[in-house]
Structure 1
Amino acid sequence: MSRIKIVAYDIAPKINLIKGKAIFFLRKVFPNRDFDD
């Protein structure tokens, strides 16, 4: 496995966590909108 893939697999869960928190925050601020992909 290449080094870039290892780094990507390490970063991906953190990005998903941040995205999840951002969507949760946006849902609280804009309850009338849908932020699902």
Structure 2
Amino acid sequence: MTVDSSFVLLFINTIILHCHTLSSNRLRGDKLILGLR
């Protein structure tokens, strides 16, 4: 495994994790806003 391929895998994993975190944060944020109000 070269450095390039491992970097690409890390980059893809970061994007997937980021998108997943954004979607779950949106759900959590809605619950938080409703709870605070």
TM-score category by the smaller chain? 0.5 to 0.7
Identity in percent: 6
The structure, 1 or 2, with the larger RCO (C-alpha pairs under 8 Å, 6+ apart) is 1
**Aligned pairs, number:** 31
TM-score (norm. length: structure 2)? 0.67
Give the alignment's Cα RMSD to 1 decimal.
Answer: 1.2
Tell me which stretches of 4 or more aligned residues in structure 1 moved more than 6 Å.
Answer: none
Structure with the higher helix share, 1 or 2: 2
With the length of structure 1 as denominator, give the TM-score of the two structures.
0.67
What are structure 2's unaligned runs of at least 5 residues?
1-6
